Structure 1
Amino acid sequence: MTEQSIPMIDLFAGCGGMTSGFVAAEGYQPVMAVEWDLHAAATYAANFGEDHMRWADIATIPNDEVPPADLIIGGPPCQGFSALGAQDVHDPRNKLWQEYIRFVRHAAPKVFVIENVDRFLASGEFALLESEARPGGLLEEYVLTVALLLAADFGVPQRRKRAIVIGSRIGEIPVPAPTHARSGDLPRWHSVRDVLTGLPEHPTRTTLPLSRVEVFGTEVPGRFKSEDLHIGRNPTPLSLRRYRAVPPGGGRFDLPYELMPRCWQEKKTGTTDVMGRMRWDEPSLTIRTEFYKPEKGRYLHPQWEPGDDGHRVDRPITHLEAARLQTFDDTFEWCGTKIQVAKQIGNAVPPMLAKALAQHIKPYLTGVESTRSRCALCPE
C-alpha cells in the first residue's frame, strides 16, 4: 500500500465489479473483500489477488478480524427488494445490510457506499438504515446522501437504475453529477454499438474451454479470458423463427400469432421487453443474470435489417457482449461455469459507474481536488 492510497473494504464483493471501478480510479487499495459464493470469489481473486479475499459467510467473520479502512463499499443482496423477486419482507437476505453496518462500526471508515436496486429506497430495511444515522443510532456519526443513479448517465451503455447511499463522517458528500446525457452539452450516452462493434457475429463455440484453476485450496473452472466468453447457443428452429421476426426495439408482441407460445397468445398485456431485440444506437436495458435467454428480456443481438434478405443476427448476446455492456474490460478474467459466470456478470456493479463514484468521492477522502480521468469509451 502506498503512502497516499486509500484502504478499502468491499463487502458482498461478487466478482469485483465495484472494486474494479474503484481501482481504475487510482488511489484505492483493497485490504479486504468478502464474498460467500465460491466462483464469484474466485473471479475476484483472479483479478485482484487471493490474499485479501475472504471466501466466507460475512456473518462468520469475527469483529477482531475486520481491518481498519477509510472506505467500505458493497451491495448487500437485493433479491428481497427486487421487483423480479417475491419481495418478501422476511427474506433473510434483506438483513445482510446489518452485517454491513457491523463492519462499518469496527472498521470505522471515513466514508461508506451502499449500492442496491432502486426498490431498496422504498423498503423497510432502508428506513431502518436511515434511522441508524440519527442521534443515538449505530451510524449517528455519518451523514447520508441518497441517490437513484442511471448508469447511462455515467458512461455505461446500459439504462440500469441503481440506488446509491453514501455515508460520510467527514462532512456531507453530495450526489455525483452526470457525466453523460441523452442529449445536450454533455457527452452523449454510449450505445450498444460502441461496445459490440467488431466482435464476430457468429461465435464458433458454445462451451467454455475445459480448464481449471486452484483457488482457496479447491479447483474451479477458469481462468477464462474475454475471447473465451464469446460463446453462442444452439437454438431450435422454432426459436430462430421467433428471433428473426423481432425488429430492433421490438419484443414478444412483434411475433406472428402462430409463433407465440400459448401463454403469450392468451396474455395480451404485460412485459414488452421479453423476446426483445436491442437497438444499435441506444444503451441496452438492464443486463441481468439470464441475459442469454431472450425470453427473459431484451437480449437479442441488435443487427436486423428488414426484408426477406435483410442482414440479421438471430441470437442472444454472448457472455462477452454482456460483460462489455456492463463495462468490464477485456483484460478481466473469469472463473466458473457458463451459468455461474453469467450470474456474476448480471449481478455486478458496472465498473464504469463504480469508477465515477470513486472519482467523485476521492477528493473528500484525500482533501485534494479531484481530476476526472477520461471516459474509456469516449473519443480523445
Structure 2
Amino acid sequence: MEKVLLKGNEIIGEAAIRSGCKLFFGYPITPSTEVVEYLSKHLPPVGGTVLQAEDEIAAINMCYGAAATGSRVLTASSSPGVSLKQEGISYSAAAELPMVIVNVNRCGPGLGGLGPAQSDYFQSVKGGGHGDYRLIVLAPSTAQELYDFTMQGFDLADQYRNPVMILSDGFLGQTMEPVVLKDRPEAPKVDRDWIIDGAKGRKKRILASYSLTNEIGEANNLRWEAKYKNIQEKEQQWEEFHTEDAEYLLVSYGTTGRICKSTVLNARKKGIKLGLIRPITLWPYPEKAFAPYKDKVKGIVTVELNTGQMIEDVKLSVECKMPVHLYRRQGGMLPTEHEILDYVEDTFNLTAVEEV
C-alpha cells in the first residue's frame, strides 16, 4: 500500500487499473476528462487499451462488446454524455454484461454548467434508459471512497452480471486529496460459462436482449426481477453518523454527505440531537437504515444538489411516519454547513426552543 495525492478522476483511473481493468472506451467531457487522460498514460504500459470513441453512443456499445468477452471494462462521462449512453446501458443490463460506468455529475438540465450537482439521481437509480432494469449505483463522498468503490464496483458487476455506476460529481472529480492505494482484493469467483471467446468444441453462445415471443420476454423479465430483489436484500450500504440518540436526521450522499457531517457536529455543540444517514448504495437504496428510527425521530431533512429527487426514496423508506423536508442548492452551488443547520433550526423551530 502507498499513500499519494491525486485528483478524484485520476483516483478512479488508478483504481480501475489495480482492479484488473484492461479496456477503457469513452469520449472526453468536462468535468470527467481526467479519467480518460490518466488511463491514456497509465493503462497501456500494463497491457491495457484506451480508445477515444467518436461519441458516447459508440463508447458504450464498445463496452458492450468488450464485456461480452469477459474483460473488465470501464467508461466514464458526465451528465449529457451519460444521457447519450442510456440505450446502450439498457442493452447491457438486458444482456447481463458486467461493466463499470462513471458519471461525474455536472449541473443541468441541458448543457448546464460544470459545477457539482446531484440532478442525475433519477437517471441513475430509476433506470435512465428504456425498460425495467436497474444499475447498482455507488455514491462516494471522499477520495478514498472513489478508490474503494471503483474496486468494489468491478467485483459487484462480475458477481451479479450487471452494470455498476459510480456516481461522482464535479467537486469530487476535480478535488485533490490523499488516498491510500490498497492492494487489489481477491476477486469473487464467478461463473464464466456465458462469455463469448470462440465456439470451437462447444455450442455457440449468443448474448442478446431481444425476446422472440412474449412468453420468453416475460420469463426474462421475471428472472431479472428476481436478480434485482436479491441485490436489494444483500447489497444495501450506508453510513450512520451520530444517530444513536438523534431526534432529527439529515439524509445526504456524496459531496453534500460530507458537508452534513460538519452540520451534525455544529448542531451537537448547540445541544441539538442531530444525526446523519449517508446512503452509499443509491440503488439498492438503503431502506434498512431507516427501520430503527421510524418511531424515534421527529423529522428528517434531505440535503440535495437538485430540486428534490432522493427525497422520494426517503419518504418511501420511512413509510410517511415522520415529516421529511428538503434543503437544496442547484446550478453548481454547494451549501455550507451553517446554511443547512439554519434550515434545520427554522424548520423544526429549534432556535425558539433553545431560547426558552
TM-score using structure 2 length: 0.30
